[in-house]
Structure formats: C-alpha cells, structure tokens
Amino acid sequence: MGWNIVSQNTEEVIDRNPDTYVKRAERALSKGCMDEAVREVDSAIQYCDSKQKKSLSL
C-alpha cells in the first residue's frame, strides 16, 4: 500500500519590513559574507518607503 498525493500547494511568504533585511545584512557582514550582505541591503532598499529611498539617494 503506497501513498497517493492528490494535490500539493506551496506558498512563499515575503517579509516586507526593510529592518529585517538590514539586520540580516549586518549579521552577514559580521560573518564576512559580503555578497550576502549586499543582497540583503538591496532587499531592504526595495521594501523601504519612498521617503526612505529619497534619503538614500543623496
């Protein structure tokens, strides 16, 4: 007797809080993982509001 999978659903949850990505970038930097830190900072910029983006472009 075997298993019969009728359907399978997956869902991806995306955290849109830029502070989460900043913390992850800081953690990556402390481990010396520069590429990972840059990816996290890019994500933080993507999810910050327009006012924050403006201050970053100075």
19: amino acid identity, one letter: D
Give pTM, 2 decimals: 0.71
Please list the ranges in the chain whose pLDDT falls under 70.
1, 56-58
Please tell me the total count of domains within the chain. Answer: 1
H or E stretch including 32?
none
Q: Is residue 23 part of a domain?
A: yes
SS3 7: coil
What per-residue confidence (pLDDT) applies to 50? 82
What per-residue confidence (pLDDT) applies to 56? 62
Q: Is residue 4 part of a domain?
A: no
14: amino acid identity, one letter: I
Handedness of CA 11, 38, 26, 45 (dihedral sign): negative
* Helix intervals (H) in the chain: 18-30, 34-47, 50-56
Domain that holds residue 35: 18-49
Neighbours of 18 (CB within 10 A): 19
